[in-house]
A and B are shown apart, each in its own frame.
Chain A
Amino acid sequence: MSQISEDQPNNLYRQTLSACPSCDVVMKRHNMTVNQCSICPRCGSKVEYMQDSCPQALKWTVIAALLFYIPANFYPLVSVEIAGTIQSTSVFNGVILLIEQQKAITAAIVLFCSLIVPTFVIATFTIFLVVRNYHRALGVQYYCVRLLVQLRHWSMLDIYLISFLITMFKVMDVGVVQMEIGIYAFVGLTLSVNKLFVTYDRSALWRLISH
């Protein structure tokens, strides 16, 4: 960033002005401190939320997510005993059964939101971290951040967790529900991915790149 501003003389506005992404009004840039939020004067949308986003916390959150990833997705989440038969479920099982029941599109949607996107998110954060620490290849970092901003809405781990609770309540009066190791890992994964999305939003990631 600093390199470019030396090359081009007339870009003072980049440091002093910003525009609202929701209504395009131009406003003066303020130096914000942690936990401050800037609101657009015209449309009232949130423009930027300054958070305490240090690279160390990012590293440990990504490592936590990586550790939780395998047990959360492939280990059984719960097992239920109904009429003498024990059934256990994992994220992956549900998708396979949907395919077996000829609901390939539904299976694809569930697979995309609960497995593929979270996988991409964790992988992209990992690549971003590694590249940022060692190679400083800016182009790769730009792509990672742009991808993460786009994927944000499509990661639905939190919704999966809530629907899991709902299913448990539904099943509870039919059979005996027992927690398995997967559910703890899944809660951990959901919390760490959500922490990544909330603390390391668009502006925080760009700040991490330019520093």
Chain B
Amino acid sequence: MAVDKPLSVNHDSANKSMKTAAQLGFVLCHDCHSLNDGGDAHCYRCKAKLNSRQPNSMTIAWAWLVTSAVMIIPANIFPITMINRYGVLQPDTIITGILYLVERGMLPIAVIVFIASIIVPIVKIIGLFYIFLSVHLKAPVSHRNITHMFHFIEWIGRWSMLDLFVISIMIVLMDVRQVSFEAGPATVAFGLVVICTMLSAKVFDPRLLWDREGVKGERLKDLGSRASHTDAEAQRFTEED
């Protein structure tokens, strides 16, 4: 693997001497990942709007996260499926549904459903809370680990949708004369939990985490003069390497 070399080789002071695009007067295009002049409004390559950081990232991310944290309560309390056996309605919440699977000896499936619909949403919500709080509180934590954790949460987010898909398939297949299968009120809440956590992770800008570190040693360059400096800076860094 070709690992991009850091701008400075000395690892002790690596974080101090490594400079961010914002400090050097560049803006990274969010859509095509190309570097732009800090003064430009639109990306030179893809014409997308340029923002050094996602605007209002923390506020919007918190809003989605709090929504999902609220919605996870009805998602677990109300029945997610209702089985109608010979006229007798048997409601099942997520947890009783899993216990029912265990009773019937389908342990591997029970484990998959347990991970996808209980562990993953809770880990996601707690993980995002932890990440957002560490941005706000400037906690002395490893930013590297938190960035890895964030990418993991981003990746795993989609998989909680499993349970909803299972229900949407089950209601079609189990539509027999005496036995029928219905989606319960918790499905709406559960779906919203998954969507809201995904949106929260999407809106959050992990660079905010690193900005706390960067500003310690380095002062942000003057906005007005930086555009003329960019090329000279680039040349200097290329030569240094």
Name the contact of B21 in the complex, choosing from A14, A19, A33 (C-beta under 8 A).
A19
Tell me, yes or no, whether B138 is within 8 Å of chain A by CB: no
Q: How many A-B residue pairs have CB under 8 A?
A: 258
C-alpha spacing A164/B170, complex, angstroms: 9
A101 touches B173 (CB 8 A): no
- Kindly specify which of B58-66, B87-95, B124-132, B140-148 makes contact with the partner chain: B140-148
Tell me, yes or no, whether A80 is within 8 Å of chain B by CB: yes
Tell me, yes or no, whether B99 is within 8 Å of chain A by CB: no
B4 touches A40 (CB 8 A): yes
Taking CB atoms, residues of chain A closer than 8 Å to B164 are 106, 109-110
Main SS of the interface on chain B? helix
B235 touches A202 (CB 8 A): no
Which parts of B168-190 form the interface with A (CB within 8 Å)? 168-179, 182-183, 187-188
B234 touches A45 (CB 8 A): no
B112 touches A13 (CB 8 A): no
Taking CB atoms, residues of chain B closer than 8 Å to A16 are 234, 238
Taking CB atoms, residues of chain A closer than 8 Å to B170 are 167, 170-171
Tell me, yes or no, whether A160 is within 8 Å of chain B by CB: yes
Taking CB atoms, residues of chain B closer than 8 Å to A170 are 101, 106, 109, 166, 170
B187 touches A166 (CB 8 A): no
Tell me, yes or no, whether A62 is within 8 Å of chain B by CB: no
Name the contact of B1 in the complex, choosing from A23, A37, A154, A169 (C-beta under 8 A).
A37
- By size class, the interface of chain A is 35 or more
B32 touches A36 (CB 8 A): no
Binary B-proximity of A168-181 (CB < 8 A = 1, otherwise 0): 01110111000000
Which parts of B186-241 form the interface with A (CB within 8 Å)? 187-188, 191-192, 194-195, 198, 202, 206-207, 209-211, 214, 230-231, 233-235, 237-238, 241
- Kindly specify which of A65-73, A125-133, A141-149 makes contact with the partner chain: A141-149
Also in contact, A82 and B176, with CB within 8 A (given A23-B206, A41-B6) = yes
B167 shortest CB reach to chain A, Å: 8
A22 touches B151 (CB 8 A): yes
Taking CB atoms, residues of chain A closer than 8 Å to B106 are 169-170
B165 touches A146 (CB 8 A): no
Chain B residues in the interface with A (C-beta under 8 A): 1-7, 14-15, 18-22, 24, 26, 28, 30-35, 37, 44-48, 101, 104, 106, 109, 112-113, 143-144, 147-148, 150-151, 154, 157-159, 161-179, 182-183, 187-188, 191-192, 194-195, 198, 202, 206-207, 209-211, 214, 230-231, 233-235, 237-238, 241
Please list 27 pairs of residues, one from A and one from B, whose beta carbons are closer than 8 Å in the complex, sorted by A's number.
A1-B45, A8-B44, A22-B150, A23-B147, A23-B210, A24-B28, A25-B210, A28-B4, A41-B5, A42-B18, A47-B4, A82-B174, A87-B176, A89-B172, A89-B173, A98-B171, A101-B171, A105-B191, A109-B161, A113-B161, A146-B48, A153-B157, A153-B202, A167-B169, A170-B170, A171-B174, A173-B104
